[in-house]
Amino acid sequence: MAETHKEIVKVWIAPGCIVCDACETDCPEVFEVQEETCIIRPPALKADFTKPLTPSIIVAAEGCPVEVIKFETIDVEGPEPAAWKESKEPAAAGAPAGGGGGAAAKKAAPVYDGPPDPKWAGLLRTAATRPHAATPNAATVILPAKAPAEAIATALPHGAPPDAIGAAMVGSGYARPRPSIADRIRSKGASLAGAADMTRREFSIALAIGWSCVAAFVGLFGAAFQTFFVPKVTKEPPSTFRAGKVTDFPDVGVYEQFKGTNGVWIVRLPGSQLVAISDICTHLGCIPNWLQADQKFKCPCHGSGYHMNGVNFEGPAPRPLERFKVSLDGEFLVVDKSIKYRQELQQWNLPGAFIAV
Ligand code: SF4
Ligand code: FES
């Protein structure tokens, strides 16, 4: 029958790791011990990677105090590689490392005389750097400080739980209790205090900028609200205004200085009448223009035409332009736009429709 040997094709960590670091010491290529548990390094998830490391993985598994390192093997034809046998020999003999290479060789250089059970050996070898968290409350074995590993292993009952092992380590001085979660949070908080201050300052600046933006938005919104919703009647010119002295209109003709501001033409008509004519077209409300050359008002919208006295004569305008009340305040001409006079209603001859000058 052909000779075969076993090679590991798959390795994993079962729940219950006490983060003792032993496996990483035995086989760092495969195991990485982190804060809360041990993990398999990504390259070691492939069979081609684990096969040549079979001896080291087995040593690590045997040294795991809580036996959570699991692996799967296959039978491979042929004898076991010679290097594997060589790497096992020093360890089997319990002698210090005298040669060879790899993780197995490293294991052959014990720090102290190994205890009988490899699980205790693995734990004791590494517990000084990563003690178990539960140790302070599980001191079931009291040993003198720095007691030999063998004494610790001997004192522990067979199959002792992990917290008892940790207690033994603390009692022996090989380990120190892991800080409690509260202590770790406090120390981390202290180290982050500076960063927290920075965050608060940045937060204050951001808050100030935010409130400035809000104030600007409210201001703009208020201005927009006033523009769109507040009646503009207060901004319109008063309905009654002084149009100047009567002597400012000495000649027959149309005076346009109040058209833009007050919507009024002051017209001195032949026959010495002074009237105030509205600049609103009686067709659909456009603003006609005074054409000096043609001596007429001409509406640009639909072509309505009005004589100088405001009477329509062309285009769709249905009636003459309206006139406003005029009166005298001393030597000043006063126009009151709240009172209108319409020619078709025979109002142009009423007092106030004109001033005789
Ligand atoms: S030896 Fe076992 S208990 Fe220790 S870190 Fe590795 S897997 Fe975890
Ligand atoms: S609005 Fe003036 S002619 Fe139509």
pLDDT digits (tens, 9 = 90+) for 36-67: 899 999 999 999 999 999 999 999 999 898 99
Which pLDDT does position 96 carry in this prediction? 37
What confidence tens digit (pLDDT) does each residue in 272-304 have? Answer: 899 999 999 999 999 999 999 999 999 999 999
What SS3 class is residue 8? strand
Residues 293-321, mean pLDDT to the nearest whole number? 95
Of residues 230 and 106, more confidently modeled? 230
Residues 76-80, mean pLDDT to the nearest whole number? 89
Which pLDDT does position 295 carry in this prediction? 95
Residue 223 has pLDDT above 80, yes or no: yes
**Helices and strands, counts by H and E, the chain:** 11, 15
Instruction: Identify the residues whose C-beta falls under 6 Å from ligand 1.
Output: 13, 17-23, 31, 33, 38, 64-66, 68-69, 122
Distance, CA of 83 to CA of 206 (rounded, Å): 65
Q: Is the pTM of this model over 0.75?
A: no
| Mean pLDDT comparison of 103-107, 123-127, 271-275, 297-301, highest-scoring range | 297-301
Distance, CA of 256 to CA of 345 (rounded, Å): 26
Structural domains in the chain plus CATH codes: 4-172 (3.30.70.20), 240-356 (2.102.10.10)
CA 150 to chain centre: 58
Which pLDDT does position 102 carry in this prediction? 39
Which pLDDT does position 144 carry in this prediction? 39
Query: How many angstroms does the Cα of residue 287 sit away from the middle of ligand 2?
Result: 8
Query: How many angstroms does the Cα of residue 11 sit away from the middle of ligand 1?
Result: 13
Q: Which residues pair with 234 in a beta bridge?
A: none
Q: What angle do CA 332, 338, 339 make, to 5 degrees?
A: 80
Q: Which residue, chain included where needed, has tokens 């079979």?
A: 54
Candidate of 30, 35, 64, 130 to mutate for ligand 1, largest count of ligand atoms within 8 Å of Cβ:
64
Q: Which residue, chain included where needed, has tokens 């770790």?
A: 184
Q: Which numbered atom of ligand 2 lies nearest the CA of 302? A: 3
Query: How many angstroms does the Cα of residue 279 sit away from the middle of ligand 2?
Result: 11
Residue 195 has pLDDT above 60, yes or no: no
Which ligand has its closest atom nearest to the C-alpha of 299? 2
Query: How many angstroms does the Cα of residue 351 sit away from the middle of ligand 2?
Result: 29
Which pLDDT does position 198 carry in this prediction? 61
- What percentage of the chain exceeds 70 in pLDDT? 66
What confidence tens digit (pLDDT) does each residue in 140-176 have? Answer: 333 333 444 556 656 666 666 656 656 665 555 555 5
Which pLDDT does position 269 carry in this prediction? 94
Question: Would the CB of 315 count as within 6 Å of ligand 2?
Answer: yes
Query: Largest Cα–Cα distance of the chain, in whole Å?
Result: 145
CA distances in angstroms from 201 to 188, 190, 192, 213, 215, listed in the order given: 20, 18, 14, 18, 21
